[in-house]
Amino acid sequence: MSGIAGKSAEPQQEALKGVRDTGLEEARLRAFLAHTWRTPKGLYGWLVTVDHKLIGRRYIVTAFLFLILAGLSAVAMRFQLAQSEAGHIGPDLYNQLFTMHGTTMMFLFAVPVMEAFAIYLVPLMIGTRNVAFPRLNAFSYWVYLFGGLMIWVAFAFETGADAGWFSYVPLAGPEYGIGKRPDFWAQMVTYTEVSALAVAVEIIATVFKQRAPGMSLDRIPLYVWSVLVTAFVILFAMPAVMVSSTMLILDRLVGTKFFDPTAGGDALLWQHLFWFFGHPEVYIIFIPATGFVSAILPTFVRRPVFGYLGIVLSLVAIGFLSFGLWVHHMFATGLPQLGESFFTASSLMIAIPSGIQIFCWIATIWGGRPIFATPMLFVLGFIFTFVIGGLTGVMVASVPLDLQVHDTYFVVAHFHYVLVGGAVFPLLGAVYYWFPKISGRMLSERLGRWNFWLVFVGFNLTFFPMHILGLQGMPRRVYTYPPASGWGEMNLFISLSSLVVVAGFALFFLNILLSLRNGRIAGDNPWRASTLEWATTSPPPSYDFSRLPVVTHREPLWAEPDLLPVVEGLRVDAREVLAGTVADAVPQLRVPSADNSIWPLLSAIAVGGAFLGSIYTPWAVVWGAIPVSIGFICWFWPKGEPEDEE
């Protein structure tokens, strides 16, 4: 198989004096590669690394820390709501808590954690050594970290955002927004959007150009398909919220009137822009989660996923349709009847591709022999809860019905079923599934089962009653409710049940901490799975694969159980990856891959400083441009390497 790459690389043979891996003995090859792809030791190495696994791991850990913060805010809210007219938490703090909960869950946990897994897994699953644009990857993490820290530090100093995760104007506008709270929110959004867009670009370029030879479009693992579709959704959705958050901060800072109806602006414009992003956002979280399911399921039923093509087309259809639904967050604002019917129809239509996926998964289980390991339990828990969330989604898609349940606890129940059932359950399953690959050790199955059942039962006990509460008239985002409302008992029940979920998550983190130290050694492929990430060691070396694999089948490790065919001809003295054609992954070029650098971090600090400063003065954008330019110039300064001269 060495011919594939060797042929295309041949003309450059003369110019490049570097050592190639052709014919190199395995131990020497690994030593060369380990040196070439190494991350320096110590703090400095931590700051300069561009290794997608280190950055992905860091992203995952950070996202879970934000999950803990957002989860604790939810617990605080449930404490306040356990009784009617309780005085534990006043309206000022409560409004900050639910805003921080929603903002953190959406912007700082759910989207980043999905991106984080993509950053970690995609290069391994498609058989390459790093993402395209590794430094952009490092940059995106730092920007994300600074955005998240900024809004939580602001919260610690009583400047937490308090206008809801959707920050509707005029409440968040110049006249009614309190202090600098909405500005911190708007800038945090800008930070996280920058990082999400950066990751989306990397993922698209990596998947399109860096797949292992032979991995044609119809052999791409379904998980990779799902993150590819997600990346495109990010690319088109995120600019809408960046535009709107920038308009908001301009309204607040320099007195533009985008959203001021008394000056020719429109308060409703915000909602259109925000939900044009906000609805695809749900799918940005949900689509990768379906990818997790499609990756975990075949391993634990011991057969390929049924209906590969159907699932891929469903993913693409969901990606497109997700842009046609935003108005269903705005039915109560009053729309022309025709518009309402259109958005009802499009909202219902998205149930079709989602249904296709569910049916394909059930067919997969039908045709296989299920093994009830923890990741599989989470997948089954996902189907159980997500179908409820999807069906209540069908309910709220109906305009008249939505007018009763919109902004009530019914909707709170609905989207937690979709987001927790539909995304967090598969995510936890994914952690159990890939933890052995990431850490080299297995998570405890016993704790895993306890973890699953506590979270699953606790979740349903917590959120199912909210449907009824909403129909009984309890609105969202209220810090208290009157004793005579009759909502007290159910709220108490919900608050107590939420503690079960907390216990479940505590076990989850405990399991991780214990297993990192004492877990059973995993080996390369503990689940006997079929995709390429399981072909390398656990944890993978800095260079991912000592020789890049060649793919001959959609399930490479099942088709070639003994030894994968590999590519030869890459340099081992410089970082190189293989680039191929988009459709058929025919290798075309050996492409240099960027080395470690401190400049992504310094640029992120410069960018972060400019964003932070612009909360206080518009001039920060002007002065901030100078360090940002310096950062970017140094980042891209040519190093005089051979390929620069060619």
Partner 1 sequence: MARCMSLLARLRKRTRPLMSPAFACPTQISSGNRTTGRVPGKAADPTQWIGTAPMLVLAGCSDRQSALHAHGANARRIFDLIWSFGAVAAATWLLVMLLLAAALLRQCPADATRSPLETDPHQERRLACAVTSAVALTVLVLIMLTTASFFAGKSIASLSGTETLTVRITGHQWWWEVRYPKDEPSQAIVTANEIHVPVGEPVKVELDSPDVIHSFWVPNLAGKRDLIPGRPSELTLIADKPGIYRGQCAEFCGYQHAHMAITVVAESREAFDAWQSRQDAAAPAPDGDEGRRGQQAFLSTGCALCHTIRGTHASGTIGPDLTHLASRRALAADTLAMTPGALAAWIADPQSMKPGAKMPRIALSADDLNAVVTYLGSLE
Give, as ranges, the residues between 150 and 179 that touch partner 1 (CB under 8 A).
Answer: 155-158, 160, 163-164, 168, 170-171, 176
Considering only the stretches 31-39, 201-209, 391-399, 516-524, report the one whose residues sit in contact with partner 1 under the rule CB under 8 A: 391-399
Instruction: Please identify which residue in 2, 216, 480, 552 interacts with partner 1, judged by CB under 8 A.
Output: 480
Instruction: Please identify which residue in 9, 325, 383, 615 interacts with partner 1, judged by CB under 8 A.
Output: 383
Nearer to partner 1, 559 or 622 (CB): 559
Instruction: Please identify which residue in 10, 26, 85, 641 interacts with partner 1, judged by CB under 8 A.
Output: 85
- Which tokens belong to 438? 């990431």
Cα→Cα distances 180→106, 272, 334, 536, Å: 21, 24, 31, 49
What track of x and - describes contact with partner 1 for positions 91 through 130 (by CB under 8 A)?
A: xxx-x-----------------------------------
* CA pair distance 454, 433, nearest whole angstrom: 19
Is residue 185 a contact point for partner 1 (CB under 8 A)? no
> According to CB under 8 A, which residues from 509 to 548 bind partner 1?
530
- Which tokens belong to 57? 């791991």
Cα→Cα distances 36→22, 51, 394, 572, Å: 16, 12, 53, 7
Q: For 299-308, b where at least 16 C-beta lie within 10 A, e where not — what string?
A: bbbebbbbbb
> In whole angstroms, how close is the CB of 85 to partner 1 at the nearest point?
5
Nearer to partner 1, 52 or 181 (CB): 181
Residue 539 preceded by cis peptide, ω within 30 = yes
Helix (H, G, I), strand (E, B) or coil at 265: coil
The answer to whether residues 20 and 568 touch, using CB atoms and an 8 Å cutoff, is yes
Nearer to partner 1, 362 or 513 (CB): 362
Instruction: Please identify which residue in 34, 217, 476, 620 interacts with partner 1, judged by CB under 8 A.
Output: 476
> According to CB under 8 A, which residues from 346 to 365 bind partner 1?
348-349, 351-352, 355-356, 358-360, 362-363, 365
Instruction: Please identify which residue in 31, 61, 478, 633 interacts with partner 1, judged by CB under 8 A.
Output: 478
Is residue 371 a contact point for partner 1 (CB under 8 A)? no
Residue 491: is it exposed, middle or buried by C-beta count within 10 angstroms (0-12/13-18/19+)? buried
Is residue 316 a contact point for partner 1 (CB under 8 A)? no
Instruction: Please identify which residue in 394, 499, 510, 621 interacts with partner 1, judged by CB under 8 A.
Output: 394
> In whole angstroms, how close is the CB of 469 to partner 1 at the nearest point?
10
Nearer to partner 1, 3 or 91 (CB): 91
Nearer to partner 1, 198 or 360 (CB): 360
> In whole angstroms, how close is the CB of 358 to partner 1 at the nearest point?
7
Q: For 170-209, b where at least 16 C-beta lie within 10 A, e where not — what string?
A: bbbbbeebeeebbbbbbbbbbbbbbbbbbbbbbbbbbbbb
> According to CB under 8 A, which residues from 1 to 40 bind partner 1?
none
What track of x and - describes contact with partner 1 for positions 204 through 243 (by CB under 8 A)?
A: ----------------------------------------
> In whole angstroms, how close is the CB of 221 to partner 1 at the nearest point?
15
Is residue 334 a contact point for partner 1 (CB under 8 A)? yes
> According to CB under 8 A, which residues from 247 to 286 bind partner 1?
261-262, 266-268
Is residue 562 a contact point for partner 1 (CB under 8 A)? no
386: number of Cβ within 10 Å: 27
Interface size with partner 1, residues (CB under 8 A)? 101
Long-range contacts: 382-385, Cβ < 8 Å, 24+?
A: 382/289, 382/293, 382/421, 382/422, 382/425, 382/426, 382/429, 383/358, 384/421, 384/456, 385/417, 385/420, 385/421, 385/422, 385/425, 385/456, 385/459, 385/460
Instruction: Please identify which residue in 72, 204, 401, 630 interacts with partner 1, judged by CB under 8 A.
Output: 401
Nearer to partner 1, 135 or 181 (CB): 181
The residues, any chain, with a CB within 8 Å of residue 160's CB and separated by 6 or more, are: 96, 97, 99, 100, 151, 154, 181, 184
- Which tokens belong to 642? 């051979």
The answer to whether residues 197 and 234 touch, using CB atoms and an 8 Å cutoff, is yes
Considering only the stretches 21-29, 434-442, 474-482, 589-597, report the one whose residues sit in contact with partner 1 under the rule CB under 8 A: 474-482
> According to CB under 8 A, which residues from 403 to 422 bind partner 1?
403-408
Is residue 498 a contact point for partner 1 (CB under 8 A)? no
Helix (H, G, I), strand (E, B) or coil at 258: coil
> According to CB under 8 A, which residues from 293 to 312 bind partner 1?
298, 302-304, 306-307, 310
What track of x and - describes contact with partner 1 for positions 584 through 623 (by CB under 8 A)?
A: ----------------------------------------
Instruction: Please identify which residue in 65, 68, 86, 317 interacts with partner 1, judged by CB under 8 A.
Output: 86
> In whole angstroms, how close is the CB of 529 to partner 1 at the nearest point?
10
Instruction: Please identify which residue in 324, 445, 496, 555 interacts with partner 1, judged by CB under 8 A.
Output: 555
Cα→Cα distances 273→233, 241, 393, Å: 15, 6, 21
> In whole angstroms, how close is the CB of 311 to partner 1 at the nearest point?
11
Helix (H, G, I), strand (E, B) or coil at 131: coil
Q: What are phi and psi of 548, to 5 degrees?
A: -65, 135
> According to CB under 8 A, which residues from 49 to 68 bind partner 1?
none
Long-range contacts: 268-273, Cβ < 8 Å, 24+?
A: 268/330, 268/333, 270/167, 270/168, 270/169, 270/244, 271/166, 271/168, 271/329, 271/330, 271/333, 272/326, 272/327, 272/330, 273/240, 273/241, 273/243, 273/244, 273/247
Radius of gyration of the chain (CA): 25
